[in-house]
Amino acid sequence: MSHKPEYFMYRALELAQKAANEGEVPVGAVVVFEGEIVGKGWNQPVSGCDPTAHAEIMALRDAARQMDNYRLIDCDLYVTLEPCTMCAGAIIHSRIRHVYYGAAEPRTGVNESICNLFAQPWYNHKVKVTGGLLAGKSKQVMKSFFSERRKSK
């Protein structure tokens, strides 16, 4: 079965909501190979006491285990927020083919916000990047999360 990119971003948004329900910043990600989700992740740095437990990293780890290979050739990553420097490095090293992300991240995003790390010529792997997929929904999940946190303080 062939799904449109929005289908996979909605799956990532469901995982972002899971992160929010666990008290984590609501970011979700899925890795897709041949039209099937092979990796899922959501932000878990607080609950896991792990600064590297961003949604993208967790999804890449899950996919690598499922595919029994750290190189995720011909895989695409859908994430609700523009990747940070750490996640961009992991995406490049894992050989992800295409990243789709929802909302821009003005403070730490490295595709359109503070720089374009994916476009640097020194990397031996080029990742195609498409931003703004369901950006409004991604922004709303973040806005709601932080609004609720402010209310509870």
CB 39 within 8 A of CB 61: yes
Q: What is the DSSP letter of 146?
A: H
Q: What's the pLDDT at 76?
A: 98
Residue 153 domain flag: no
Residue 55 domain flag: yes
Q: Is 22 a catalytic residue?
A: no
For the chain, give the longest Cα–Cα distance.
47
Catalytic residue among 34, 36, 56, 148: 56
What's the CATH number where 141 sits? 3.40.140.10
Residue 150 domain flag: no
Residue type, 37: I
Domain count, the chain: 1
Q: What's the pLDDT at 1?
A: 59
Neighbours of 33 (CB within 10 A): 17
Residue 39 domain flag: yes
Q: Smallest Cα–Cα separation from 46: which of 28, 19, 67, 83?
A: 19
Residue 35 domain flag: yes
Q: What's the pLDDT at 100?
A: 98
> Does 115 count as an annotated binding residue?
no
Supply φ then ψ for residue 109, to 5 degrees.
-70, 135
* pLDDT by position in tens, the chain (length 153): 579 999 999 999 999 999 999 999 999 999 999 999 999 999 999 999 999 999 999 999 999 999 999 999 999 999 999 999 999 999 999 999 999 999 999 999 999 999 999 999 999 999 999 999 999 999 999 999 999 888 887
Q: What's the pLDDT at 7?
A: 98
> Does 84 count as an annotated binding residue?
yes
Structure tokens at 95: 């050989």
> Does 49 count as an annotated binding residue?
no
Structure tokens at 68: 């029994």
Residue 75 domain flag: yes
**68: domain range?**
5-145
Residue 151 domain flag: no
Residue 60 domain flag: yes
